[in-house]
């Protein structure tokens, strides 16, 4: 089996080299970057199975780097290494999309166990919603790979990434409840007042697109979420 690729971003050269060697000994293919900027350049040039980011770094701290990575890739696991133990910092890490957190100094075996557990979990996650990308929604056709929404023989509309993700999630829950918090955590990666208002704006945009078919509507289920109702089924 091919070695799993890890991007390690650590500004302490000695610690970075030791950790890299330790992971290589344990059969991982490791790329080391010494700051956030270099880390992002390396991330763009390759496909990684996991990222390990130090939080306190020059040119781009770990949080900023994690945000940039999440813009490019929603799935790749991220582990933060930090000397900070403040609850706010830990929460900030999870909010930007971290999968796990380790406080320095840490036992390298614990890190190894976490890496293996996360990679195994990601591999075993069934992602039916990622394999299906074409949906019939009444008289509409959605191709979520191309982000095209077509209505009968009309020219397709190109949806924005968030519009497309949201409509795809609604289509996967067709005639069923799509919980508000599910969409917020999966698409906006945070469930708060501002992301909730943002989602309402996107729901309004989708309703505008879908009004061409009177048999299709997005219902607001108060306090719970939304339901994409298709009446001709």
Averages of pLDDT over each 10 residues, the chain, 233 residues: 88 95 96 95 93 88 92 88 74 82 87 89 60 91 95 94 94 90 83 86 96 96 92 70
134-137 β-sheet, strand order: 134-137, 140-143, 148-151, 157-158
List the beta bridge partners of residue 52.
8, 79
d(CA 12, CA 18): 10
What's the whole-model pTM score? 0.55
d(CA 20, CA 10): 10
pLDDT at 125: 58
Q: Cα 117 from chain centroid?
A: 18
Helix and strand tally (H, E) in the chain? 9, 12
pLDDT at 102: 87
pLDDT at 75: 84
d(CA 148, CA 31): 37
d(CA 137, CA 227): 13
pLDDT at 126: 46
Neighbours of 38 (CB within 10 A): 17
Q: H or E stretch including 178?
A: strand 177-179
pLDDT at 124: 63
Q: Please give the backbone phi and psi of residue 198, each rounded to the nearest 5 degrees, phi first.
A: -60, -45
Q: Please give the backbone phi and psi of residue 114, each rounded to the nearest 5 degrees, phi first.
A: -65, -45
φ/ψ bin of 117: left (φ > 0), alpha (ψ from -120 to 50), beta (otherwise):
alpha
d(CA 191, CA 194): 8
Q: Domains in the chain and their CATH numbers?
A: 4-124 (3.40.50.2300), 129-230 (1.10.10.10)
pLDDT at 223: 83
Are the C-beta atoms of residues 115 and 95 closer than 8 Å to each other? no
pLDDT at 86: 65
pLDDT at 129: 52
């Amino acid at each position: 089996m091919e070695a799993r690729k890890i991007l390690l971003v650590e500004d302490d050269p000695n610690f970075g080299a030791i950790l890299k060697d330790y992971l290589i000994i344990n059969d991982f293919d490791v790329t080391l970057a010494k700051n956030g900027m270099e880390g992002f350049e390396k991330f763009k040039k390759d496909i990684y199975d996991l990222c390990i980011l130090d939080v306190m770094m020059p040119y781009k701290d770990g949080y900023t780097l994690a945000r940039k990575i999440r813009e490019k890739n929603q799935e790749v696991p991220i582990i933060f290494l930090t000397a900070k133990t403040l609850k706010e910092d830990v929460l900030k890490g999870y909010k930007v999309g971290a999968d796990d957190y380790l406080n320095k100094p840490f036992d390298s075996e614990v890190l190894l166990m976490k890496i293996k557990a996360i990679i195994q979990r990601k591999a075993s996650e069934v992602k039916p919603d990622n394999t299906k990308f074409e949906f019939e929604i009444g008289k509409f056709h959605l191709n979520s790979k191309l982000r095209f929404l077509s209505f009968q023989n009309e020219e397709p509309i190109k949806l924005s990434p968030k519009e497309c993700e949201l409509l795809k999630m609604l289509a996967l829950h067709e005639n069923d409840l799509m919980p508000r918090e599910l969409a917020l955590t999966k698409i906006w990666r945070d469930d708060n007042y501002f992301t909730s208002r943002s989602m309402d704006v996107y729901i309004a945009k989708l309703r505008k697109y879908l009004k061409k078919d009177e048999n299709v509507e997005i219902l607001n289920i108060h306090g719970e979420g939304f339901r994409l109702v298709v009446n001709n089924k």
